[in-house]
Amino acid sequence: MAEKTVIDVQHVCKTYFMEGGTSQSVLKDINFQIKSGEFVAIMGPSGSGKSTLMNILGCLDKPTSGKYILEGYDIASKDDKELAVIRGKTIGFVFQNFNLMMKRTIADNVSLPLIYQKVGETERYNRAVEMLKKVNLIGYQDRPPSQISGGMQQRVAIARALINNPAIIFADEPTGNLDSKTSDEIMELFTFLNKQGITIVLVTHEDDVADYATRMIKISDGHKVYDGLRKEYSKEKEIKC
Amino acid sequence: MLTAIIKEAWISIASYKLRTFLTMLGIMIGVAAVVMMVSAGQAVQNRITDTFASMGSNLILIGPAELVTGGVRGGRGLPSVTVADVAALKTLKDVETTSYLMNAAVQAVYGSRNYGVSVKGTNPDYLAVNNWEIEDGIMFTEKDVRAAKPYAVIGQTVVDELFGLQNPIGKTIRLKGKPFTVIGTLREKGDGLMGDDQDNIILMPSTTVRQRLAGSPRPQYTGIAFVKATSEDKMELVAKRVEYMLRTRHRLKDGVKNDFTVRLMTEMVEKVRSVGFVLSALLAAIASISLIVGSIGIMNMMLVSVTERTREIGTRKALGAPNSWIMMQFLAESVLISFIGSFVGMVFGIAFSQLGGHLFGYEVPISIWSVIVSVTVAVVVGIVSGLMPALKAMRLNPIDALRYQ
């Protein structure tokens, strides 16, 4: 059965225009599609443009030219308000620094995206508890995040990303602040979620993290230099630009 | 949505209790100061109005002419209105009654006690004109005035000072060595406008004062005459009639200035009240400076808060918060701070003004204006001081905000 296309990136370019008339081209003619249920790692060295690509994919930024279609929405034509709605309903974000609110309870953190969708307080709490079960954090809902470990905090962030039943989860260096053992736990959680049908796109520069993904897209100097199965990747297979 | 925003704002400001409290303190002090100043001004104004009302608000006062030399006011001339003039004024249309005073300050003696009192020589209508009431005994009559009877009607202070718990009616007091019989006492009136004791008074027939106490070289003249109009709206008309009659009786030709002055009590009340109003507005304006300082405090705290919470703002935006939500949340935080601050300030302001009123013996009204001013100030200060930080938060680019360290 053909899987549904979640992400369709067509000839996407991103150029930053600086003061003084200079410009810097960060992404150059990027094309790829991601289908529902894929687990994709976007890789590349520092300054390659992978974070910019991630920002565009996450609807936090728009391409300078080209088309980006997410779940059928043409992102370039949407205004800020519409993009906020798309982010809230379609995307789940997992950040390197977890980005939890330390003065709030874990349940408050997990249910935060639901506030913007006008979900009532009781339902928010119930759904947060349900999500916490999914990431194996039963009974932690009323504690502040400061009382749990880094790995657990990242699991809270994953529960937060899942709460809207998003079409796709974007994880930006999700293990960057974790030790290797905890990193493995988090990546196993992502694998588990992916096996349940959730599409996952993660940005990383660590090979062993990327190994959990099935597909790999490599960016170098703003160009896509590799797009294929992770296990088949080798330096030699990179396209020369 | 609004409830959710307010709740989020509340949780945010409650997370930084000390900082929020200190920021609120500025608004609390500001609002409390404004409320206290407005209350104090109003208490003084009420006191003025009450005092004039106790003197009789339909009153027209006729006194000696003002002496003006080269445009400079030089005090009062000699009394020009006679007892006969006052009697004639009573016949005018719309005049309820007339009265007059002859003042003398003497030492009153009863047994071994003595006290300095103000003696006013007048006619029986003085009670009605000046809103006095008899507490005990009787007032002297016109017949007593004609006969210059040595009768005294005494105020409560005189009763307390000379007689203590004894009944003064029928007792004889001595003034300048001469005996006077107390035939009545006056009901207590309290302090006057300048804090003077209105109850330190002895009323006597004007003829008695003239003959026995004053020794005036112009005994037929009154110090001050009162005309009481039948109603407040007739006062202007009556004042004109009084002026016309007195000019005729004093045979003043056209172009010659009045040898008397006619003043309306309502005019005087208005004058004093407008001064009181300006004074309390000035006090409130000075107090509101602290409100401005308080609102700068809120703006400062909110700006710091936006900077501190940049990453949180980025996260919220990434998780689907629209820009308007972010702006409303920060605006709600500043409005909440100023609203609570204003409310507490208002409560303290009212409490302190009541306490102050109690200490200084003033009746301080709880003004609805205090509440209106406080609530308005709360919302305006909250919005004004929160707008800039809220806009700053709203305009943050989510990518930059997420990267903020």
Taking each continuous run of H as one helix and of E as one strand, the counts in chain B are: 13, 12
Q: Are residues B307 and B179 in the same domain?
A: no
Q: Residue B219: its pLDDT value, please?
A: 60
A155-199: pLDDT as tens digits: 999 999 999 989 899 999 999 888 988 999 999 999 999 999 999
In angstroms, the separation between the Cα of residue A234 and the nearest Cα of chain B is 32
Question: Residue B152 pLDDT more than 90?
Answer: yes
Q: Could you tell me the two tokens for B218?
A: 């112009």
Q: Rounded to the nearest 5°, which phi and psi values hold at A162?
A: -85, -15
Q: Are residues B86 and B185 in the same domain?
A: yes
Q: Residue B216: its pLDDT value, please?
A: 57
The per-residue pLDDT of chain A, averaged, comes to 91
Whether B89 and B242 have beta carbons less than 8 Å apart is answered as: yes
| Residue B332 is assigned to a structural domain of this protein | yes
| Other Cβ atoms closer than 10 A to B52 | 19
In angstroms, the separation between the Cα of residue B18 and the nearest Cα of chain A is 15
| Residue B61 is assigned to a structural domain of this protein | no
| Residue A62 is assigned to a structural domain of this protein | no
* Residue A148 falls in which region: left (phi positive, over 0), alpha (psi -120 to 50) or beta: beta
| Residue B251 is assigned to a structural domain of this protein | no
Q: Is B325 touching A (CB cutoff 8 A)?
A: yes
| Other Cβ atoms closer than 10 A to B177 | 7
| Residue B281 is assigned to a structural domain of this protein | yes
In angstroms, the separation between the Cα of residue B335 and the nearest Cα of chain A is 21
Q: Report, as an integer, the average pLDDT of B348-374.
A: 83
B297-321: pLDDT as tens digits: 999 999 999 999 999 999 999 999 9
When CB atoms are compared, the residue of B4, B318, B402 closest to A87 is B318
Q: Which residues in chain A have their CB less than 8 angstroms from residue B312's CB? A: 99, 101
| Residue B89 is assigned to a structural domain of this protein | yes
Question: Residue B192 pLDDT more than 70?
Answer: no
What lies within 8 Å, CB to CB, of B159 at 6+ separation is: B168, B185
Q: Are residues B279 and B361 in the same domain?
A: yes
Q: Are residues B32 and B85 in the same domain?
A: no
Question: Residue B189 pLDDT more than 60?
Answer: yes
**E strands, chain A, in order:** 5-17, 23-35, 39-43, 65-70, 73-74, 91-94, 168-172, 199-203, 215-220, 223-229
**B48 band by pLDDT with thresholds 50, 70 and 90:** confident
Helix axes A150-162, A121-134, angle to 10 degrees: 120
Please give the Cα distance from A40 to A215 (Å, whole number): 5
Q: Could you tell me the two tokens for B376?
A: 């308005």
CATH number, domain with residue A190? 3.40.50.300
**B381 band by pLDDT with thresholds 50, 70 and 90:** confident
| Residue B318 is assigned to a structural domain of this protein | yes
In angstroms, the separation between the Cα of residue A212 and the nearest Cα of chain B is 25
The three-class DSSP label of residue B54 is helix
The fraction of chain B above a pLDDT of 70, given in percent, is 93
Residues 9-28 in B contacting A (C-alpha not used; CB under 8 Å): 11, 15
End-to-end CA distance of chain B: 30
Number of domains in chain A: 1
When CB atoms are compared, the residue of B312, B318, B323 closest to A60 is B318
Residues 169-198 in A contacting B (C-alpha not used; CB under 8 Å): none
Number of domains in chain B: 2
Q: Is B318 touching A (CB cutoff 8 A)?
A: yes
Q: Could you tell me the two tokens for A54?
A: 């991630």
Please give the Cα distance from B238 to B185 (Å, whole number): 32
Q: Residue B100: its pLDDT value, please?
A: 81
Whether A115 and A124 have beta carbons less than 8 Å apart is answered as: yes
When CB atoms are compared, the residue of B1, B315, B323 closest to A80 is B323
Q: Could you tell me the two tokens for B72?
A: 């400079």
CB pair distance less than 8 Å for A88 and B319: yes
**A241 band by pLDDT with thresholds 50, 70 and 90:** low
When CB atoms are compared, the residue of B319, B323, B324 closest to A112 is B319
**A233 band by pLDDT with thresholds 50, 70 and 90:** confident
Whether B268 and B352 have beta carbons less than 8 Å apart is answered as: no
Instruction: Give the domain-ending residue among B171, B196, B226.
Output: B226
Instruction: Give the domain-ending residue among B207, B226, B245.
Output: B226
Pick the more confident residue, B293 or B371: B293
Q: Are residues B129 and B190 in the same domain?
A: yes
What lies within 8 Å, CB to CB, of B247 at 6+ separation is: B258
Q: Residue B218: its pLDDT value, please?
A: 60
Pairing between strand A168-172 and A199-203?
Answer: parallel
In angstroms, the separation between the Cα of residue B320 and the nearest Cα of chain A is 4
Q: Report, as an integer, the average pLDDT of B89-114.
A: 85
Whether B349 and B34 have beta carbons less than 8 Å apart is answered as: yes
**B72 band by pLDDT with thresholds 50, 70 and 90:** low
Please give the Cα distance from B141 to B148 (Å, whole number): 10
Q: Are residues B98 and B138 in the same domain?
A: yes
Question: Residue B108 pLDDT more than 60?
Answer: yes
Q: Is A98 touching B (CB cutoff 8 A)?
A: no
Whether B131 and B160 have beta carbons less than 8 Å apart is answered as: no
A91-100: pLDDT as tens digits: 999 998 899 9
Question: Residue A2 pLDDT more than 60?
Answer: no
| Residue B177 is assigned to a structural domain of this protein | yes
What residue numbers bound the domain in which A108 lies?
38-48+80-237
Q: Are residues B203 and B281 in the same domain?
A: no
| Residue A205 is assigned to a structural domain of this protein | yes
Whether A137 and A100 have beta carbons less than 8 Å apart is answered as: no
The per-residue pLDDT of chain B, averaged, comes to 85
Q: Is A79 touching B (CB cutoff 8 A)?
A: no
- DSSP code at position B213: I
| Residue B394 is assigned to a structural domain of this protein | yes
A101-118: pLDDT as tens digits: 998 999 999 999 999 988
Q: Smallest Cα–Cα separation from B181: which of B129, B100, B108, B106?
A: B108
CB pair distance less than 8 Å for A112 and B316: yes
Q: Is A85 touching B (CB cutoff 8 A)?
A: yes
Question: Residue B158 pLDDT more than 80?
Answer: yes
Comparing B65-79, B97-111, B350-364, the range with the smallest average pLDDT is B65-79
What residue numbers bound the domain in which B194 lies?
81-226
Helix axes A80-90, B310-318, angle to 10 degrees: 70
Question: Residue A1 pLDDT more than 60?
Answer: no
The CA-based angle B151-B157-B158, given to 5 degrees, is 35
Q: What is the 3-state secondary structure (H, E, C) of A53-119?
A: HHHHHCCCCCCCEEEEEECCEEHHHCCHHHHHHHHHHHEEEECCCCCCCCCCCHHHHHHHHHHCCCC
| Other Cβ atoms closer than 10 A to B276 | 19
| Residue A12 is assigned to a structural domain of this protein | no
Q: Are residues B191 and B300 in the same domain?
A: no
The three-class DSSP label of residue A223 is strand
Instruction: Give the domain-ending residue among B171, B193, B226.
Output: B226
Q: Is B319 touching A (CB cutoff 8 A)?
A: yes
Q: Report, as an integer, the average pLDDT of A220-225.
A: 92
Q: Which residues in chain A have their CB less than 8 angstroms from residue B321's CB? A: 84, 88, 115-116
Q: Are residues B39 and B97 in the same domain?
A: no
| Residue A223 is assigned to a structural domain of this protein | yes
Please give the Cα distance from B405 to B63 (Å, whole number): 82
Q: Residue B208: its pLDDT value, please?
A: 86
Q: Residue B331: its pLDDT value, please?
A: 93
